[in-house]
Amino acid sequence: MLNPFDNDAFTMVALTAAINKIPNNFGRVEQLGLMPAQGVRTRTILIEEMNGVLNLLPTQPVGAPGTLGTQGKRKVRSFVIPHIPHDDVVLPEEVQGLRAFGSENEVEALAALIAQKLQTMRNKHAITLEHLRMGALKGVILDADGSVICDLYDAFSISAKAVSFGLTSGTTEILLKVLEVKRHIEDNLRGEFMTGIYCLCSPGFFDALTTHAKVKEAYARWQQGQILFTDNRTNFSFGGITFEEYRGQATDPAGTVRKFIADDEAHFFPLGTATTFRTYFAPADFNETANTLGLPLYAKQAPRKFERGTDLHTQSNPLPICLRPEILVKGTKA
């Protein structure tokens, strides 16, 4: 009996192309376009940091020699790109009735079944990538079980910045807290540019902010300017920072629901930067992908033992990273 999986439509290249074309249904960080993808050829990346020395240049008489430029100190850090495999299976009963000899629709029907499987697998990789990217925005990238994959603050030998907003007190000058965040980010861009500052915050932080005595009037005026029936939990600007309620969460392998942002916390970061944020993708560990530029996702199929179905294998090798973690700020409600 002919094996329809021998068709070119189910090769590694075809399946990989198919799974990368499936839309990403999860991920606010993905929607913000904050961490562009960049393929690399190795499983380890080297990040070179160079602290440029900026000096005020004195005036000199005409014809006098110019002042000499000084070189910044360079540091090289290595990061291992995580490997995230995921498997599924196509069982014989799922393809029962598709094996019609000479049928012109056999491959198309099987391709539709594979597409459904790939969609489910794609969604799991997408929410996992969102979790990793949110970790990069917080400065500590966590695995599905809560263990630390990479602590960017330790890697770059800097201290995390946290601002207590004092939202539980009606007398706190919230604008001064906002300005503290802005000044910290502006001071630590160090030659980088930005188009604005954004904040993803937990529901508790957002509610406390928008109902605070010092913010409530501004929030009410902002709501009046919105079109009816819009979601007023997004794009609220105060003091030059845009606030958005973020409810990303997922269930880990143990069945525990993990919130991507902890209760009563908020995380601030710049938008529109050139080199601050990246998502590096390493190639899959297949013979045919060695030394190639990494893609966001890979998919492959192989027959099971005794021809009792077909295994589907997908994998992603992503490392979202903030190359200037000193510009990340955590806000707390209390």
Whether pLDDT at 162 is above 60:
yes
Cβ within 8 Å of residue 80, ≥6 positions away:
43, 44, 319
- Cα 94 to the chain's mean position, in Å? 35
Question: What band does 178 get if pLDDT is binned at 50, 70 and 90?
Answer: very high
Q: pLDDT digit string (tens) for 280-323?
A: 999 999 999 998 999 999 999 998 888 888 899 999 999 999 99
| 69 half-sphere exposure, CB direction, 13 A CA radius | 4
For the question of whether the overall pTM of this predicted structure is more than 0.85, the answer is yes
Residue closest to 172 by CA, chosen among 12, 332, 7, 10: 332
* Per-residue pLDDT at 231: 61
* Domain 4-48+76-332 coded CATH 3.90.1690.10: yes
Query: Residue 276's closest CA among 183, 204, 158, 190?
Result: 190
CA angle 43–296–247, rounded 5-degree value = 110
- Helix (H), strand (E) at residue 161: strand 161-164
The stretch 106-128 carries a mean pLDDT of: 86
* pLDDT at residue 44 greater than cutoff 60: yes
Asked if pLDDT for residue 53 goes beyond 50, the answer is no
Judge whether residue 98 has pLDDT over 80.
Answer: no
Given the DSSP bridges, would you call strands 329-332 and 161-164 parallel, antiparallel or unpaired?
parallel
pLDDT at 92: 82
For the chain, report the end-to-end CA distance as a whole number of angstroms.
68
**Residue 52: predicted pLDDT:** 47
Instruction: Identify the CA nearest to 12 among candidates 101, 105, 114, 102.
Output: 114
Contact 244, 178 (CB under 8 A): no
